[in-house]
Structure 1
């Protein structure tokens, strides 16, 4: 079974009306061993990078997970904890081989349980897939085979080292069971150490831990048996597995089912959590918006049938109540992990319970804040939800009411302006929003037209609903000036006028042009990626999809898209190849002539003259401060947000909008 060469097109889902709360499968209670869950919706283990300096659970963890529990989730699985000094993970993640984890995790468990959810944690050893810069140690694995991602040859573990890791899992389980958690999960998937022993592609051993399926399962079986012995027969325990590696000769669904049966028996398990892929097939591990909803969840159904009556949980991109209901109704799983969906909206389950699915802030599957930020060592964030990761200071479904309601004018209806306007209105301020164009959404509104980026529409649609709900006076097609603003006698003005292309003369164009120019005028286009973000790749893809004769994507600082996490970069690269976009890394834009451009190799200085009709430079933008400058000193409180402050990505613009709305005094 291999990864599809081009992911299926996404489509913009309509506002999900949600299931009838009286009959919704996702809201039905269920049991994991002796533990009764209030519903079938989970938050699965995922990286947050919120740990303390000594890599223990923090108050930020407690606030973050408690917010999802308060919003209605039935089960919270706290992120992966390293069980051994060689286990890896980042310096901002937790380690379970420190005795301090018991007391530290207690605050997380108590916070989650106080909100009515069960609190589990996941135990893991990264093996050859962790970052060796964290441990300053060699990588451990089943065999000395390099990973496609790390490229560092690992140390093939000795039997004594296998014994030590078995003991480490058991000791970590004991520490965490004493912390007050309700259960534990052992990670045997995603290409980590236990998976490396299970996979015939990563395990080439010739001793009792390699060869046949039974022998490849021996180490994970020993781990699960040791963990079970450490926590006792009644403590809920599960395992996470990959239902397929999507690699020829690797674990396929039939083999995964056989592995699941063996591991369930070895650990007397209470559930199996099924995802898919490894670091070798990274882009499918956490499918982005290009894959649509619920891809690959049928793999969980294969394992569910193999291990029945043991319950099965599955993850993937289960982003809406309708998607969750589909997975449960067709029998693929008993429990759905709506993890990114509840990063975007912690109150998703509560809204379904109350028949308010139309109010859910949809996860758009951009993988930017939840995956991109954390993979690069930053704190977890979310494009849709600027409070994600900051729950100690910004929690709750409703904003706090303003001490003194103000008259607020927001100028600019892009992501920053929309966020500032609705949030300020929700705090009780009286808000007018001016937008020069015919519709709201700013630059993102153009990218929505591309099938693979269509779910970006969720950014605009959610905020439009909030603007209506809180009574914001929205005035489009008005380029507000000083007189228009002062006529409303505002106490506070928020400038979110965005940015403008640095130069659009001659052949040079801004990113908007790629989506709005008549298709017959596109011709031969050179797109310059000066930031390494998804913006330039999206522009290149749009030009090719709209019929440009030729598209060349150029980047001076490495390959195009070099700042995009691999999970999203790989499917984007597949789409670019499928549409014939030519890519030139380590080339910079030189002289632009009449129908030609010069591209120079930054390493050796050689140049290539390329025939071109247009040069699109998405990142060459400057803040539009004209109105802010004109209003300085003429209004009570002047705030600037989004690209008008500094041209960046939508995730920063929305965060700015929320921040300035909270600054209104």
Structure 2
């Protein structure tokens, strides 16, 4: 029987006797950190299991490295070590507990490896198509014929280990500039022997790897092959060669997984992992075109987070399979919600790169909208409240909303007070910004959850500490937020000066010439939005860099947008006064006037400590949440809200 909501997306698919219960597969995601022997920890298994329990047809664990010389960092599973077997078995069991197929990605870093543990420090080297030096300064040696064969056999041995562990499919990584992609790429493979030059020669190594993997796993074990449909980088191959490559592996593998780009090109990174400044599904066209030329099922991906769009992709024949990664972090229960008619409760990934940043810097998984990610083991068995309490939440931003929902779900009686006419706090500014729509949708999702949880919401109610005390609540959660920083300069109270509240409407009352006072993350995103509206935009920033508080991947995406915009940025520039003509500033080149019809104040926020502290004695227990502690990101507010509610 077809699913009445998404008949194509929910339809099963059987490959080599393996049935995928729907068409949404979990794309490869590597682990944030491993144990000292490069084996998965229980925390890593719990993370992937949480993706599996939400309805994905399969979950792929990323970056299983097939040979020590191919290691690029510490987050990769050592598939060349039989000691990985116990943790692999545990991972496969975890997937199977939820009717989800277990998939392992087989990879080799090639010339980008740093060869951890390979020889003495002075003797370490990487292997690749050519003799060169990699970005880490490590010598790269052109692979000999014997090394090519040895590496292909290493892929086979790794695949056999994965099959022995109980996994259901292997995924060979041939994209994104990893070793196989390096051989496939005309810009990276400069060999003149039978392993380089023509397309036929460049495909010889990937085809040998497929052959060795097939020999190792047998004819009835599915093999997925990930490739870049086009490299999208200077000198790289385009879609025409991508089609030819897909035709070369057609029938030799069981799923052709079409991605895009090369990791090492920062301009392309934000297409391989689409930023919020590109359209959802930006890479689907590659799979759509390749599918016209092959018989093997084709998978597509690229910032997809909308089940309606996914259904259309499958129904129209653009691809056979959808793969998602970040969306399965943001809402692991995305498939189940879609297939049960609850798509309005889906938290959509906003592509903010919070997950990437924390993965690379803090070595953990994290999500701006999902406080459980990275803490799955401690969250799986959360108990309901043993003694229901009367809880008052003051403030209806994302932190207050999440706290109210969590407290109500645990059995408490919750009333939320919001001084404004709408919930959402600072996220209300995102409603009309095209690239921030998924952030505004988060507010709508939380509003629905408030209703479902039975939270009593009181809008247009600026609750004072005295009024809160009179309510005789057991617990008060103060989520009163922050206030804009207003520079103490002459003319700052001019009608020319507006706050972010001016963006809370479809047609903001902002003049043609706009000077944004403050070039942090918020000011920079506002500049991109206003530039998109056709405004003449200038950013003024006191520091020596703009968007210094942004994640570097997101800043890179903003840089790419700004290259082709009319946005001007003045750093090391301090505002002196607002005048009738605009903003008078001190710059490295002396005093200058920046003409403006409107000055948008984006100089940052400061915690509203006075309001927060006023609630200290208004109930037996009082907790603070989010920006009223210190102004921060939505991830901080949501995490605070969730865990404070668990403290009750």
* TM-score of the alignment, normalized to the shorter chain, above 0.5: yes
The answer (yes or no) to whether the contact 2:518–2:604 under 8 Å persists in 1 is: no
Give the distance between the partners of 2:199 and 2:298, measured in 1 at CA. Answer: 22
Q: CA deviation at 1:22?
A: 6.8
List runs of 5+ in structure 2 lacking aligned partners.
none
Structure 1 distance, partners of 2:394, 2:435, is: 30
Taking the aligned partners of 1:263 and 1:433, their CA distance within structure 2 comes to 58
Change in 2 beyond 3 A, CA 1:537/1:197: same
**Unmatched segments (≥5 aa) in structure 1:** 1-18, 601-605
- 1:627 corresponding residue in structure 2: 611
Give, in whole Å, the separation in 2 of the partners of 1:402 and 1:377. Answer: 31
Aligned to 2:430: 447
Report the counterpart of residue 262 of structure 1 in structure 2: 248
Aligned counterpart for 1:287 among listed residues 270, 274, 287: 274
Q: Report the counterpart of residue 192 of structure 1 in structure 2.
A: 178
The question of 1:537 aligning with 2:537 is answered: no
Contact 1:501 1:510 survives alignment (8 Å): no
Higher mean Cα deviation, 372-381 or 462-471?
A: 372-381
Aligned pair partner of 1:525 in 510, 515, 525:
515
- Cα shift at 1:116: 0.6
TM-score (norm 1): 0.87
CA contact (8 A) 1:514 1:543 kept: no
Matches within 5 A, 1:114-263: 114-129=97-112, 137-143=124-130, 150=135, 155-159=140-144, 160-247=146-233, 249-263=235-249
Partners of 1:234 and 1:578 in 2: CA distance: 51
Give the superposition deviation at 1:500: 1.5
Tell me the secondary structure at the aligned position of residue 416 of structure 2. Answer: strand
How many matched pairs? Answer: 627
Is residue 404 of structure 2 the alignment partner of residue 421 of structure 1?
yes
Q: Is the 8 A contact 2:514 2:600 kept in 1?
A: no
Partner-residue secondary structure (3-state), 1:251? coil
Matched residue, 2:539: 552
CA offset digits 1:292-342 (Å, max 9, x no partner): 33222121122223220x222222122122111111011122221133222
2:13 is matched with which residue?
A: 30
Aligned to 1:379: 364
Residue 90 (structure 2) pairs with residue 107 (structure 1):
yes
Counterpart among 449, 469, 482 of residue 452 in structure 2: 469
Rounded to whole Å, the distance in 2 between the matches of 1:514 and 1:191 is 44
Give the C-alpha shift of residue 113 in structure 1.
0.7
Match for residue 486 of structure 1?
469
Match of 2:586 in 1: 598
TM-score, structure 2 length as denominator? 0.89
Match of 2:392, SS? strand
Alignment map for 1:220-369 (pairs within 5 Å): 220-247=206-233, 249-264=235-250, 268-279=252-263, 280=265, 281-308=268-295, 310-369=296-355
Cα displacement (A) at 1:23: 6.0
State how far apart, in whole Å, the 2-side matches of 1:333 and 1:107 are.
32
Superposed displacement of residue 412, structure 1 = 1.1
- Match in the other structure for 1:65: 48
Q: Take 1:53 and 1:66, find their aligned partners in 2: how far apart are those partners?
A: 22
Pairwise CA distance, 1:248: 5.3
Deviations 1:69-93, CA, capped at 9 Å, x for gaps: 2221111111222222232343234
Question: Which residue of 2 is the match for residue 11 of structure 1?
Answer: none
Match of 2:14, SS? strand
1:657 aligns with 2:647: no
3-state SS in 2 of match to 1:525: strand
SS at match of 2:586: strand
After superposing the two structures, state which structure 1 stretch, 155-164 or 377-386, moved more.
155-164
**Residue number in structure 2 paired with 1:77:** 60
Q: Retained in 2: the 8 A contact 1:407–1:429?
A: yes
Tell me, in whole angstroms, the C-alpha distance in 2 between the residues paired with 1:121 and 1:619.
46
Cα distance in 1 for partners of 2:294, 2:116 equals 39
Q: Is the 8 A contact 2:130 2:143 kept in 1?
A: no
Could you report, residue by residue, the CA deviation over 1:85-112 in whole angstroms, capped at 9, with x for unpaired residues? Answer: 2323432343322222111111110011
Match of 2:568 in 1: 582
Deviation at 1:590, TM superposition (A): 3.6
2:373 maps to what in 1? 388
Q: Structure 1 residues 382, 474: CA separation in 2 closer, same or farther (over 3 Å shift)?
A: same
**Pairing partner for 2:73 from 78, 86, 90:** 90
Give the match for residue 13 of structure 1: none
CA-to-aligned-CA distance 1:464-509 (integer Å, 9 cap, x gap): 1111111211112222101221232111111111112233443667
- The superposition leaves residues 542-561 of structure 1 with CA deviations (integer Å, 9 ceiling, x where unpaired) of 34445654413547354545
Structure 2 CA distance for partners of 1:526 and 1:45, relative to 1, 3 Å? same
Change (3 A) 1:394 1:192: same
Q: 1:424 to 1:327 in 2, by over 3 A?
A: same
CA distance in 2, matches of 1:632, 1:50: 40
Distance 1:655 1:229, change over 3 A: same
Question: Aligned partners of 2:223 and 2:342: how far apart in 1?
Answer: 34
1:605-663 CA-to-partner distances (Å, cap 9, x unmatched) read: x6564535577664632211223322223411111111112211111111111111111
- Inter-CA distance 307–467: structure 2 relative to 1 (3 Å threshold): same
The more displaced of 434-443 and 387-396 is 387-396
SS of 2:401's equivalent in the other structure is helix
The alignment partner of 2:417 has SS state of strand
Cα distance between partner residues in 2 of 1:638 and 1:131: 50
Over the aligned positions, Cα root-mean-square deviation in angstroms equals 2.8
After TM superposition, give the deviation of residue 124 of structure 1 in Å: 0.9
In 1, Cα distance between the equivalents of 2:39 and 2:106? Answer: 14
- Corresponding residue SS for 1:552: strand
Q: Distance in 1 between matches of 2:405 and 2:418?
A: 14
| Stretch deviating more after TM superposition (138-147 or 487-496) | 138-147
Q: Any conservation in 1 of the 2:536–2:566 contact (CA below 8 Å)? A: no
Bigger shift: 195-204 or 56-65?
56-65
SS in 2 for 1:402: coil
- Cα deviation, residue 382, structure 1: 1.3
Query: Contact (CA 8 Å) 2:517, 2:539: kept in 1 or not?
Result: yes
Task: Indicate how the Cα distance of structure 1 residues 117 and 578 shifts in structure 2: closer, same or farther if over 3 A, else same.
Answer: same
> How many angstroms apart in 2 are the aligned matches of 1:213 and 1:580?
41
Matched position secondary structure for 1:351: helix
1:512 maps to 2:512: no
Separation of aligned partners in 2, 1:562 and 1:128: 32
Q: Aligned equivalents of 2:116 and 2:499: distance in 1?
A: 38
